[in-house]
Amino acid sequence: MESSRYDGRRNDEMRKVTITRDYTKYAEGSVLIELGETKVICTASVDDKVPPFKKGTGEGWVTAEYDMLPRSTATRNNRDRNNLKINGRSNEIQRLIGRALRSVVDFKTLGERTIIIDCDVIQADGGTRSAAITGGFVALMDACSYLVNANIIPEIPIRDFVAAISVGYVDDRELLDLCYYEDSRAIVDMNVVMTSTGKLIEVQATGEEAPFDRKVLDHMLDLAEKGINELVAIQKQVLLSR
C-alpha cells in the first residue's frame, strides 16, 4: 500500500488549487492563485508600446516580472531594490514565465502592444513558479478578453492553454506538486511547463545530490502531464465561470 506524504496526499495527488479572477481593481486581468499554502497574485497589464525589436512589425509581445514579498517565507527576504539589482532566482523565474506564456500567443493578432504579467508571491510553500505560470495564463486570457470586448483586437490571440507543475524524487518516490518540505528534501527536482495538447514548453530537471535514471525522468514526466491536465481543467472551469 502506498504510504502517505508529509501532508497526507497520495504520490500522484495535487494540492488543492483555487483560482480567483478579478482579484485586483485596475489591471486588465488579475487572479489570485492558491496552490496549497502557496499564494501568488498575477496581474496582466496592457501597454500600447512594444520592445524596440518589435517596432514596425505589427506584432505584439508578452513579458513577465516575478517577485516574492519580504515575508512570504518563514524568514524575511530583502526587497530587490535594497540590493540595487534583481535577485538571480527571480530573474530566472520571470524569464521562464515569459517564455511559457509567449509560446502560445499569436503576436500578429495581438498587434503592436505588450501584455505584462506581474507575479507577486504573497505566501510561499513550494511551486511558486508553477503557480505563477498557471495563474498568469488566466490573467493573460482575461487581458486578451478585455482587448476583444473593447474592439481593439478581433479575437483572442491564444492558441492553447498552458500550465506548469513541480515533480520530485523524494525518499525513493516520485511525487507530484511538491510543498516546500518535500522540495527541500528532493534528490531530483523538476518543473514542467506543458500545453493542454500535451506539448512540452520547458522541462527543468536537476539531480540535486546525484545523477538519476531515465526511467525516473519518464515517470516524473507522466506525473507532470497528469497534474497539468488537472490544472488546465481548472483553468477552463474558472474562465467559463462567467
CA–CA distances in Å: residue 4 to residues 8, 24, 125, 145: 5, 37, 19, 42
- CA angle at 105 for the pair 167 and 65, rounded to the nearest 5°: 60
Give every CB contact of residue 160 below 8 A, 6+ residues apart in sequence: 104, 195, 196, 197, 199
Give every CB contact of residue 117 below 8 A, 6+ residues apart in sequence: 42, 43, 44, 62, 63, 64, 65, 97, 98, 101, 136, 139, 140
For the four alpha carbons of 138, 143, 144 and 146, in that order, the dihedral sign comes to: positive
- Give strand pairing partners of 173: 170
What number of CA atoms fall less than 13 Å from residue 59's CA on the CB side?
12
Is 71 annotated to bind a ligand? Reply is: no
Read off the C-alpha cell for 24: 485586483
Read off the C-alpha cell for 147: 482587448
Contact 1, 103 (CB under 8 A): no
Is 128 annotated to bind a ligand? Reply is: yes
Is 127 annotated to bind a ligand? Reply is: yes
Is 126 annotated to bind a ligand? Reply is: no
* Known binding-site positions for phosphate: 89, 127-129
* Known binding-site positions: 89, 127-129
